[in-house]
Amino acid sequence: MQQQPFSQQQNGQTVYNAPPDVMSTKDLAYVDDMLAWNLLAMKKAHDAATRCQDNELKAVFEACGQMHQRHYNQILGHLKSHLQ
């Protein structure tokens, strides 16, 4: 027997066993927001690192920017993997 993509609970809420094959407009808006926030945080951290005089603090800003860049790339990677 093939497993259905969702099951109904008694309280009336739908629980998904796997993500749906289609993203809603609201889902796309959330993904767009996540990308925009990570890109902005990456840019702000880079700007702060370039303006910073303290080398220790500069390294922290650079690490922060790199973290947000990794998150941005991970989100894009997830999207690209589902397009193929």
pLDDT digit string, tens, across residues 34-56: 999 999 999 999 999 999 999 99
76 has a pLDDT exceeding 50:
yes
The predicted structure's pLDDT at residue 20: 73
Which residues contact residue 72 at a Cβ distance below 8 angstroms, ignoring those fewer than 6 apart? Answer: 35, 38, 39, 42
Task: Give the Cα separation of 43 and 37 in Å (integer).
Answer: 10
The answer to whether the CB of 58 falls within 8 A of the CB of 52 is yes
pTM for this predicted structure: 0.73
The predicted structure's pLDDT at residue 52: 96
4 has a pLDDT exceeding 60:
no
Domain ranges, ordered by start, for the chain: 23-83
pLDDT digit string, tens, across residues 8-27: 565 777 777 777 778 889 98
